[in-house]
Amino acid sequence: MPKLHVLFTKENLDPNRLQGKVVIVLDVLFATSTIVHAFADGIDSIWPARDAEDARCIAGDLDAPFMAGEYLAGSLPGFGPATPLALADARGQGATLVYATTNGTVALKNAAAATDVYVGALLNGAALAAHVMRAHPLASVLLVCSGSADRFNLEDFYGAGHLVGHFERSGNYELTDAALAAMLLRRGCDAQTVLNASRIGRMMKAHALQHEVDCAAQTDTLNVVPRLDDGRLHLVAA
């Protein structure tokens, strides 16, 4: 029976232990929620970047991409906003996005050695879990919480628990204690309560971004499955 495990931060990720596993990266506030929302909003592809310099290097090889992102929750000069709703308003009809964040896009880059890498959020939990169970029925699944600079983030762990719940109902996975803990947290609280109580959630509220937190707190509303291949995120059939 394949295992289902949760890593508390991206710094726990060991590239030498990823072969044959399905990795799902979560950064609920906001990188992976923003990526999922952007695909649902019609974008064709997203290139995750480690930082602004990496983003500019990637963009140099593309045809007029839109660039967006943040560093330590601050805006990057010349870049669009990093949150779901603000990005949707800012990017227009561009088909390609280069996206750099402090944690979520770095976690995606760090996970690139895995056989299969997907983007997870509360928004697409049901669609993503269904796809992984159908496409990789025998593979162990590793849920990677991005965290914040090697610190545990409550909202990422809650998002992992949301996904664990979808996988657990199939009866086809052996849950580690970390996966079980995440699922029990998910069952004990609603998403809005957890995201509002989290450190990042409180910081967003102080910056008048409660509506972005509300957006990320929706569960299973978007039927999109972003997958990472050769450095580029694209949609696969949900």
DSSP conformational letter for 151: B
The number of beta carbons lying within 10 Å of the beta carbon of residue 19 is 9
Contact residues for 181 (Cβ-Cβ < 8 A; gap 6+) = 6, 157, 161
Are the C-beta atoms of 220 and 121 separated by less than 8 Å? Answer: no
CA 151 to CA 222: how far, in whole Å?
28
CA 97 to CA 17: how far, in whole Å?
30
Structure tokens at 7: 């890593």
DSSP conformational letter for 52: H
CA 49 to CA 54: how far, in whole Å?
6
pLDDT value of position 94: 67
Which of 184, 88, 198, 219 minimizes the C-alpha distance to 148? 198
CA 202 to CA 29: how far, in whole Å?
11
Alpha-carbon separation of residue 234 from 10, 12, 84, 159 (angstroms): 22, 26, 17, 21
Q: State which amino acid sits at residue 113.
A: A
Contact residues for 188 (Cβ-Cβ < 8 A; gap 6+) = none
Mean pLDDT in each 10-residue stretch from start to end of the chain (238 residues)? Answer: 97 92 97 97 96 97 94 89 95 86 97 96 98 97 96 98 97 97 98 98 95 98 98 91
